[in-house]
Amino acid sequence: MIAFFSPTHIMHAPEYEFHRGERVPCFETPKRLEIVHAELVARGHEIREPTHDTAAILQRVHSKPYLKFLETAWDQWLAMDPENEGVQPFPAVWPVRTLRTDLEPENFTAKLGLYSMDNESPFVAGTWLAAKEAANAAVSAVALLQSTGTRAAFCATRPPGHHAGPDFMGGYCFLNNASVAAAAFRSRDYHHVAILDVDYHHGNSTQQIFYARGDVQVLNLHGDPRIEYPFFLGHSDETGEDDGDGYNLNLPLPAGAPASEWFEALDFACDRVTHHRPDALVVSLGLDTYEGDPISRFMLRSEDFTRLGSRLAELELPTVIVLEGGYAAKELGVNACNVLEGFEGV
């Protein structure tokens, strides 16, 4: 399978994050993708760099003020104090509930809170360029499928995207790559698109972006949001609204769910995809469902990812697979390539 990969990803390399209130080394690191890249090369998959710019498509997914902030955030941070060069910024305050969000504050850390859903999304000088290249890969993959008739492509990219909302970052995510891919399909006259998110953590922002739309179906298999990040979306009663009523499906599963239960949920989601008869599929491929993942609690083994790829292939749709989470770095490459080779029937 053709995989899109950009060395630019290494420019996003923060040293630490706050996880459940504790300062810890980052789970989402360049090493993750380097391991995936090495396994792709070892197994003979073709590697390409992104070929298309996503600027026009980004504005269909994210707000203009948010995009402007992301592009200029590091410069704003340095303008506060040149010594900030070696300091990772984090939000100081969030505009919750009755506080105003229509006015952008001048104070940078307050502004950062306006555009953040948490303090687990550290950024550095190269974050915008790395995130932009990941989104470019999503658009490039869609263009490849349409222009060549290729059945599927893989975006081996980071930072991930499915927690990035229309106007906020969160959960290591800055631009919503899966939503960008769906928007790119729509811009190329694919009338109906399905996004299937199999990450352990609910794709809250992908859901939010398309919640009132009937042209993009969003389906999530994930950990129970009562106990797992992102906590405030992902319940089974969230089914869409207005034109999107019935086009959103959440299948939350309990911690420790075995592969048998997970695949039952996957089959149910795939049947719903088939029922809606989309023209294309985007897969948010979270590999943190692996039994050894340090921040997730499902029980899939490496061979189960081959089965996942085979099940996705049965949908017989043009498919863009976008890498999301997965933090058991040693096994990440094997698990990613197993999905691709399961899809291709290798």
Q: What is the CATH number of the domain that holds 196?
A: 3.40.800.20
How many CA atoms, within 13 angstroms, populate the side-chain half-sphere of residue 77?
Answer: 23
Which of 38-47, 78-87, 150-159, 260-269 is predicted with the least confidence, judged by mean pLDDT? 78-87
Residues β-bridged to residue 52: none
pLDDT in tens, 211-242: 999 999 999 999 999 999 999 999 999 999 99
Neighbours of 279 (CB within 10 A): 16
Sign of CA dihedral 28, 87, 117, 187: negative
| Alpha-carbon span 185 to 91, nearest angstrom | 34
Which alpha helices (DSSP H) does the chain contain, by range?
30-42, 55-61, 64-80, 108-114, 127-148, 177-187, 204-210, 259-276, 302-313, 329-344
How many CA atoms, within 13 angstroms, populate the side-chain half-sphere of residue 332?
Answer: 27
Predicted local distance difference test score (pLDDT) of residue 346: 66
Catalytic residue among 163, 201, 202, 222: 163
Closest by Cα among 73, 183, 154, 104 to 323: 154
Range of the domain at 213: 2-344
Question: Are the CB atoms for 298 and 200 separated by under 8 Å?
Answer: yes
Kindly report whether the peptide bond that precedes residue 122 is cis, defined as omega within 30 degrees of 0. no
Predicted local distance difference test score (pLDDT) of residue 20: 78
What is the pLDDT confidence band of residue 19, given thresholds at 50, 70 and 90? confident
**163 is an active site residue:** yes
For 13, phi and psi rounded to 5 degrees? -140, 60
pLDDT for residue 342 is more than 80 = yes
Question: Are the CB atoms for 26 and 171 separated by under 8 Å?
Answer: no
| Alpha-carbon span 324 to 322, nearest angstrom | 6
How many distinct structural domains can be found in the chain?
A: 1
Question: Are the CB atoms for 337 and 302 separated by under 8 Å?
Answer: no
**Residue count of the chain:** 346
pLDDT for residue 126 is more than 80 = yes
Q: Is 330 exposed, middle or buried (0-12, 13-18, 19+ CB in 10 A)?
A: exposed
What's this model's pTM, rounded to 2 decimal places? 0.98
Sign of CA dihedral 258, 263, 265, 266: positive
In sequence order, what are the residues at sequence separation of 6 or more whose Cβ sits closer than 8 angstroms to the Cβ of residue 226?
none
pLDDT in tens, 314-328: 999 999 999 999 999
What is the pLDDT confidence band of residue 91, given thresholds at 50, 70 and 90? very high
Structure tokens at 251: 């299948």
Structure tokens at 131: 């995130």
